[in-house]
Structure 1
Amino acid sequence: MDQREEQEFAEYFVARREAVRRMAYMMCGDWHRADDHAQTAFIALHRHWRKVRDKGALDAYVRRILTRAVIDESRRPWRRERSAEKLPDRPAESADVDESVATRQALLDGLQRVPPKQRAVLVLRFLEGLDVAGVAEVMRCSEGTVKSQCARGLAALREVLGDQLGDLRSA
């Protein structure tokens, strides 16, 4: 790349790195992995910078790269293992159940228990604000697939949040 292209890339990177990192976190639930996924997306963008014809569509291109990276990483065998020596802390009994379920952290924890493709659809659809067609374009699938994955993801999220609510009530 020449100096002008490097400067364009640097400006885009500085302007969008935090937004891409936040979106990666919403998809994977771990800031360290989110940093890795964001870095992967920007490396891929840098590698193909000359080939990008429509600089106005950079956000969509990065979104697609990031989504693919998160889904691909979730397929790796070591990502399926979950071990813990002790159960996570439970909120104090005096905590208001409705308030604790409605918190951002409860939602993010619930998202992590939703399958990766469904989680990606939910994040792109509801947290990134894309319409069904936009999500289908990012994930390279049909709009019908997006709708079904969204419905299944919402059902799974409701079930997870319902389980968390039941666990809090029995505590």
Structure 2
Amino acid sequence: MQNMFMAADFIKQQDQFSFAMGDGKMGMIDTRDIAACAAKCAASDQWDGQTLELTGPEAISYSDVAAVLSDLMGKTVSYAPMSPDDMYAMIEGADWGDWMAALARDYGKAYAAGWGDFTTSNVKKITGKPPRSFKEFAEEVFLPSLQAS
């Protein structure tokens, strides 16, 4: 979910953001839930030797994210998908380097094809609490940061 901070200025200035994920859905997770899992795992040997993939509570698209932000902000926020090749050109043009541009392009293609369209119950399994929704993240972290900057 914290990857949305890459789009914060666009949302604040243009009420729009873009990624190369198309309409792909992702089990977005709040890094606070990742940290809670890491703390529990570090404090116990219960999870030793296990690989537990962490996700948020639902697989959502960036169109879903835009709808949540629109509702919470009281104005229309739009998601404008861009092609993976356009994402590559934009990142390379910003001098972030070929590696980062290729990573964004390739992840965009994978997520658009459904690579991240799943969730797990592992956050609750490890912490005893369900993972935060995107709406909770937006209300508690993302929107306050937009208003503060």
Q: When the two structures are superposed, what TM-score results if normalisation uses the length of structure 1?
A: 0.26
Q: Which has the higher contact order (CA 8 A, sep 6+)?
A: 2
More helix by percentage = 1
Q: When the two structures are superposed, what TM-score results if normalisation uses the length of structure 2?
A: 0.29
